[in-house]
Amino acid sequence: MGVTTLKEIENILSQEIATILSVDSSKVILDTPFHEMGIDSLSFVELLVFIEKTFNIKLMESGLTSENFRTVRSLASSISRMS
């Protein structure tokens, strides 16, 4: 995909989460836990599929833990390290 910066990854994730939640991307706060944003199990699966396709990451083999999926910022940081 050619994403090179943490900021770009944060923006891509924020836009997708906003789409999934049907809210404006300005409502997606990088340090807010996903569950507090309204991400439920179904929307979380949507996000996982998006991450695998967009960043070409096999999540089952990635070694990511639940802590990596706490916030947009923590997830973006983890993806950045893998890219």
pLDDT band with cut points at 50, 70 and 90 for residue 4: confident
Instruction: Tell me the domains of the chain and their CATH numbers.
Output: 6-82 (1.10.1200.10)
pTM for the structure as a whole = 0.91
- What is the pLDDT averaged over residues 13-40? 96
Whole-number percent of the chain with pLDDT over 90: 82
pLDDT per position as a tens digit, 40-80: 999 999 999 999 999 999 988 888 898 999 999 999 999 99
Per-residue pLDDT band at 3 (split at 50, 70, 90) = low
> Which contacts qualify for 27-32: CB closer than 8 Å, 24 or more apart?
28/72, 29/72, 30/71, 30/72, 30/73, 30/76, 31/71, 31/72, 31/73, 32/71, 32/72
* pLDDT, mean over the chain: 93
